[in-house]
Amino acid sequence: MAAVADYPEYSPQGMAATTGYVEANGLTFAYIEEGSGPLVLMLHGFPDTAHTWDDLRPRIAAKGYRAVSAFMRGYHPTGVSALDADQETLARDPLALISALGASEAVVIGHDWGASAAYGAAALEPDRVSKLITVAIPHPATLKPSPRKLWGARHFAAYKLPGAANRFARNNFEALPAICRRWSPTWRPPPEEFDAVRECFASPGSLDAAFGYYRKLWPLPSASLRARITVPTVVFAGLDDPVVEVSDYRRAARMFLGSYVIEEMPGGHFMHREHPGVFAERVLRHL
List, in order, residues 6 or more apart from 230 with CB less than 8 Å away.
126, 256, 257, 258
The percentage of the chain sitting over the pLDDT mark of 70, rounded to a whole number, equals: 94
User: Please, which residues bridge with residue 264 across strands?
Assistant: 237
pLDDT of residue 11: 41
CB 92 within 8 A of CB 29: no
Q: For residue 10, tell me if it sits in a domain.
A: no
User: Please, which residues bridge with residue 32 across strands?
Assistant: 19, 69
- Full DSSP string of 70-115: EPPTTSTTS---SSPPPHHHHHHHHHHHHHHTT-S-EEEEEETHHH
Q: For residue 3, tell me if it sits in a domain.
A: no
Q: For residue 242, tell me if it sits in a domain.
A: yes
Q: For residue 198, tell me if it sits in a domain.
A: yes
Of 165, 23, 208, nearest to 99 by C-alpha is 23
First to last CA, the chain: 25
Binning pLDDT at 50, 70 and 90, where does residue 229 land?
Answer: very high
pLDDT for 48 beyond 50: yes
Q: What is the DSSP letter of 206?
A: H
The chain-wide mean pLDDT, for the chain, equals: 93
CB 231 within 8 A of CB 206: no
pLDDT of residue 13: 42
Binning pLDDT at 50, 70 and 90, where does residue 8 land?
Answer: very low
Q: What is the per-residue burial (b if ≥16 Cβ within 10 Å, else e) of 111-135?
A: bbbbbbbbbbbbbbbbebbbbbbbb
pLDDT of residue 150: 85
Lowest mean pLDDT among 16-30, 139-153, 154-168, 264-278: 139-153
Q: For residue 271, tell me if it sits in a domain.
A: yes
Binning pLDDT at 50, 70 and 90, where does residue 121 land?
Answer: very high
Distance CA 213, CA 196 (A): 20
Binning pLDDT at 50, 70 and 90, where does residue 183 land?
Answer: very high
pLDDT of residue 116: 98
pLDDT of residue 220: 87
Quick one: 76 exposed, middle or buried, by C-beta within 10 A (0-12, 13-18, 19+)? Answer: buried
> Tell me: the pLDDT tens digits for 61-111?
999 999 999 999 999 999 999 999 999 999 999 999 999 999 999 999 999
pLDDT of residue 3: 53
Q: For residue 114, tell me if it sits in a domain.
A: yes
Q: For residue 9, tell me if it sits in a domain.
A: no
CB 210 within 8 A of CB 155: no
Binning pLDDT at 50, 70 and 90, where does residue 145 land?
Answer: confident
User: Please, which residues bridge with residue 19 across strands?
Assistant: 32
For residues 144 and 2, the model is more confident at 144
Provide the H-helix boundaries in 161-205.
Answer: 164-173, 175-183, 195-201
Cα–Cα distance list, 86 to 57, 154, 211 (Å): 27, 19, 12
Of 38, 35, 37, nearest to 53 by C-alpha is 35
CB 43 within 8 A of CB 31: no
Of 34, 41, 42, 94, nearest to 63 by C-alpha is 34
Write out the H or E segment, with its range, that includes residue 194: none
Q: Which domain holds residue 85?
A: 20-285
pLDDT of residue 148: 85
pLDDT of residue 153: 85
The total number of structural domains that make up the chain: 1
Q: For residue 2, tell me if it sits in a domain.
A: no
Number of helices (H), then strands (E), in the chain: 13, 9
Binning pLDDT at 50, 70 and 90, where does residue 15 land?
Answer: low
> Tell me: the pLDDT tens digits for 272-285?
999 999 999 999 99
Q: What is the CATH number of the domain that holds 144?
A: 3.40.50.1820
